[in-house]
Amino acid sequence: MFETLKQQPADKILALIQMYRDDPRADKVDLGVGVYKDATGLTPVMRAVKSAEHKLWETQDSKVYTGLAGDPAFGDAMADLVLGDAVPRENVAAAATPGGTGAVRQAFELIQMARPAARVFVSDPTWPNHLSMLAYLGIEMVPYRYFDEETRGVDFDGLIADLKTAKKGDVVLLHGCCHNPTGANLNSAEWDAVIEVLLSTGATPMIDIAYQGFGEGLEQDAAATRKVAAAVPECIIAASCSKNFGIYRERTGLLMVTSVDGGARALNQGTLAYLNRQNFSFPPDHGARLVTMILTDDALRADWQAELEDVRLSMLGLRKQLAQELQDLSGSDRFGFLAQHRGMFSRLGTTPDMVEKLRLEHGIYMVGDSRMNIAGLNAQTVPILAKAIIGAGI
Ligand code: PLP
Ligand code: TYF
């Protein structure tokens, strides 16, 4: 029966990992897949995660099933981390999922179940998996302008004009912070304007937040999500713990749906549990339990926040260093956007040919759209990258 299958397109980001591994050059630089790396190129297990795992090993006496929505304590801890007090907890339906990807996928299925004709508005560009999952599910997507190729900031006027064409029953997918793949983000006043458009069109926001703590700080990075969720009657939020807890392979995420009253919440909660059951029954628990332990223990939480802040500041330092090197070499401030961008990524804004040239001639690996993982750099490789960029005539 399987001879009917067709070759599916590979994930370009994941394909880069293999190309990088196969490259024999000792001085190669990996700016591809979005995982945090320290100055030695390692992706460490965070201290608080190690401590929580140790404690868990000592105290956990059963691995019996949790619930279809996972352990409610995880939902509570994450709702608190992401939403603060923006929405009363009794109005938030929440279900644990396998990673943030699982939360996004379950959200798309929920949208399709509620509104088979819903269109999902997606930033141009967005994380490629958004597009591939929407296409796979047969959900209509509408790109909205986002990246300004000139300034490498947000094309705010284009974004607002495009979002105004959304209608009630449509969904607007927004990145809560640290936009992937561009690194360009809305400021607070611009978020207010987006909220106004959401309210005037009646479209439902869906916020994908996968990098809380990587941009301006843990609270600041959640501010937009909180503001949107507090302003609209219904908001969908897909949160990932992969990056900010460094537990990528544990597959830890949470899908939340807010509503204005407990009755709607009960229906949403039942539907999230139902959707989990259709796809995988019980969500993974190990990572979710670690996150819950860390967030609810003062000492573990303080240690986690301190390490996360170090991670954030190291990326910020690399951004500033790279922008400065490029300014020195080019004699212009046209790369100043690198210091303005936030999160792991920046889109350099050059052609796929130039990206290939950097890879072939310098062993510098970035995604074809010129997305660079800033965490892939260190103080020694920043000048190498800067020289390569200017040498290539970018
Ligand atoms: N959403 C965005 C925008 C991402 O960049 C990622 C990748 O890390 C995710 C969601 C989900 O990641 P994960 O499934 O590893 O939690
Ligand atoms: O954008 C990234 O690099 C991360 C990691 O299919 C990732 O979000 C990349 C591709 C993928 C899943 C996760």
Domain positions in the chain are 11-45+301-389, 65-296
CA distance to 73, 313, 315, 389, per residue, from 381 (Å)? 43, 17, 13, 12
Pocket test for ligand 2, best of 12, 14, 178, 214 (most atoms within 8 A of CB): 14
Q: Which residues of the chain have pLDDT under 50?
A: none
CATH superfamily of 11-45+301-389: Aspartate Aminotransferase, domain 1 (3.90.1150.10)
Closest ligand 1 atom, residue 104 Cα:
10
What single DSSP character describes residue 94?
A: E
Closest ligand 2 atom, residue 32 Cα:
3
**Total count of residues recorded for the chain:** 394
Catalytic residues: 127, 208, 210, 243
Ligand in closest contact with the CA of 208: 1
Ligand 2 in reach of 14 Cβ (< 6 A):
yes
Equal CATH topology for 11-45+301-389 and 65-296: no
pTM, two decimals, is 0.97
Distance 96 CA to ligand 2 centre (A): 19
In the chain, helix, strand, coil percent, each to 5? Answer: 50, 15, 35
Cβ within 8 Å of residue 342, ≥6 positions away: 177, 178, 183, 185, 214, 215, 216
Q: State the pLDDT at residue 10.
A: 87
- ipTM confidence: 0.98
Q: State the pLDDT at residue 372.
A: 98
Q: State the pLDDT at residue 261.
A: 84
Model pLDDT for residues 224-237, shown as the tens digit of each residue: 999 999 999 999 99
**Contact between 245 and 212 (Cβ < 8 Å):** no
CA distance to 160, 181, 225, 312, 361, per residue, from 228 (Å)? 15, 22, 5, 24, 45
Distance 14 CA to ligand 2 centre (A): 7
Distance CA 372, CA 370 (A): 6
Ligand in closest contact with the CA of 179: 1
Ligand 1 in reach of 376 Cβ (< 6 A):
no
Architecture of domain 65-296: 3-Layer(aba) Sandwich (3.40)
Ligand 1 in reach of 250 Cβ (< 6 A):
no
Ligand 2 in reach of 45 Cβ (< 6 A):
no
**Contact between 98 and 283 (Cβ < 8 Å):** yes
Q: Which residues pair with 204 in a beta bridge?
A: 171
